[in-house]
Amino acid sequence: VQLQASGGGLVQAGGSLRLSCAASGTIFSIRNMGWYRQSPGRQRELVTSCTSGGCTINADSVKGRFTISRDNAKNKIYLQMNSLKPEDTAVYYCNADLKATSFSSSYRNYWGQGTQVTVSS
C-alpha cells in the first residue's frame, strides 16, 4: 500500500493550489484519509480529514480557505487551498487508516511522502 501525494509548489500569497493524494495497492477498506502539515520548528498539525461520515476541516486557521473532497471509487482525496498565506508554508502529508485485506485484524496507519507548499509574501 502506498499513499502518493502531489500538487505542491511555490505560489504567491493570495494564490491557490490543489493537492491530491491517491492510495494504491491492495486495499480492502479505508476508514479515514486526511492531510497533515508540518513547518520547520513546529509539530505536525492535522489540517483536514474524511471518514465515512464526511469530511471536516480541523485546523481553524484554514477554515473558509481550504476545502477537502474525497473520491471513494478512486481512493483519492483532494485539498483545494485558496487565499494562501505565507503561514501556510509547510510540508503537507497525506495520511490514512486502512485495511489491506478482509483478513486484516485491524486498521493500519499509513503516511505519504509529503509535498512541499511554499507561499511567498
pLDDT > 70 fraction of the chain, expressed in percent and rounded: 100
pLDDT for 104 equals: 83
pLDDT for 120 equals: 97
In whole angstroms, what is the distance from residue 69 CA to residue 13 CA? 23
pLDDT for 103 equals: 87
pLDDT for 75 equals: 93
Averaged confidence pLDDT in the chain: 94
Residues 26-51 have a mean pLDDT of 94
Provide the pLDDT confidence category of residue 25 given band limits of 50, 70 and 90: very high
pLDDT for 52 equals: 85
Tell whether the model's pLDDT for residue 114 goes beyond 90.
yes
Strand-strand pairing, 115-120 and 9-12? parallel
Residues 11-19 have a mean pLDDT of 98
Interval 56-108: pLDDT, tens:
999 999 999 999 999 989 999 999 999 999 999 999 999 999 998 888 889 99
